[in-house]
Amino acid sequence: MPKLADDLRRWTESSRKRIDSVVMTPWEEQVGRVLHTGDGVATVSGLPEARLDELLVFESGARGMVVGLGETDIGCMMLSDPKGIVAGETVRGTTEVARVPVGDELLGRVVDPIGMPLDGGEVPACRDFAPIENPAPAIYDRALIERPLATGVLVVDAMIPIGRGQRELIIGDRGTGKTALAVDTIINQRSSDVICVYAAVGQKASSVARVIESVRHSGAPERCIFVVGEADALPGLQWLTPYAACTMAEHFTARGRDVLLVIDDLSKHAAVYREVSLLLRRPPGREAFPGDIFYIHSRLLERAARLSPERGGGSLTALPIAETQAGNISAFIPTNLISITDGQIYLDPTLFNEDQKPAVDVGRSVSRVGGKTQAPALKALAGSLKLEYAQFLELEVFTRFGTMVDERTRKKIEHGRRIRAVLAQNQFSPLSLGEQTALLAALSGRQLDDVPLDRIAEFRAALPRWLAEHAPEIADLDDRAPPITDEKLGQLRQVLAELADTFAAPDPEATE
């Protein structure tokens, strides 16, 4: 017992000395409280030093992000399950803005907006994190867009070309092939060095699964990142999806890589933001959207650019998708996005129902940048294509009423029908630059005028092997090759005429 008492006394004295050596200083902690919560948002009082995009931690362990600062309260979007949060619960600020993981570890993965895996794999072991909100590159940090981004879709590459660093809107009614066109563009990058980031905002799980499976089957999934905010995810996660995807893409752009960002789609993103704003009791504006609806998309899409050589020379090309109702491209969100982007590809439901796929309305579609970056070999042959096709569509209207036409007009109409047949293209079958050049050469040289319309598809299918055997220099063209000389163009048309003769209809007079 005496020994135990001595040990206890020594331990007490040692503890006192340690306590006395500690320097005690006052510290301040700001604590807020939940006013009310529900439907994926929360309103918090207190925390006067909180800032936009700051992460908040609730007493229950849930996390949220500040999206609105009032005089006495804070609007917060929940980023984790809000179950269990009640009014009066304490909330603490972290002084940290929302960040997402970035790096090569994300390539080939399917993740949610905060970087958690959705493909059943391990959590990506990313060492770097970046804020979801980054300022757009300044004017002096940008360079001219000089190189095309090949989509592999002839109607786009020939008449509505897209440059690396451009923002091109894909717009149309529901079910007209908007996502299919974007997926074909991603698949076509299997033959390039472009990294692809696909952001799904509010899409059904089955739709996202089809996109991922298509890329894995036909594209280069090892150079793709899929960022998914599904339709049943919290509104905060859906709203975060395009910004998180853009941050992941910018990581590679800053290191001199060319990146393609597809956002599917911004109409649902705008609807999610409207939902959050109304739940936070912000005053509604036109179509019940909040007043800053234009800004949330402009600050996102302005981050797409081609950087100057001093900044690494990388590029970020954005292909946002927007949905229209009954072809109304003058609605609020579509007009906002059209004014932000550098052009639009409009998909017409009438063309889609007539089985003209991709259903691109050439008259309503435009690229304000890509024409200057179009591959020289293609640009030389596509110059008059859009005008010829527009004239054909105008002439064809009269023939539908049974109007008699002269021989010259009839030939123009037949030639236009072959242009339309060549522009039709199946999904998951992108064309190389050489194949596109050969098809345009055959159209401009009238080599296809004697081929029946129902055999144009057979001609296209036989073209790759025919070029490899008879014109390998055309089959191997890339976007930096110079324009084709008149001599080589003549030789190419002769080769194409030989192939077309095998599909041409027999001359009825010769058979007699």
Which residues are known catalytic residues? Answer: 368
Q: CA of 324: how far to CAs of 275, 296, 333, in Å?
A: 19, 19, 9
Report helix, strand or coil for 511: helix
Residue 313, Ramachandran bin (φ over 0: left; ψ between -120 and 50: alpha; else beta): left
**Chain centre to alpha carbon of residue 474:** 30
Report helix, strand or coil for 12: helix
Query: Buried (b) or exposed (e) across 445-454, using 16+ Cβ within 10 A?
Result: bebbeebeee
For every residue of 122-176, DSSP letters joined together read PPP---EEEES--PPPPGGGB----SB---S-HHHHHHS--BTT-B-EEEEETTS
With a CB cutoff of 8 Å and minimum separation 6, the contacts of 277 are 284, 289, 290
Q: Which of 131, 360, 150 has the alpha carbon at shortest distance from 251? A: 131
* Encoded tokens for 465: 């092997």
252/148 Cα distance (integer angstroms): 18
Contact by Cβ (8 Å): 132, 250: no
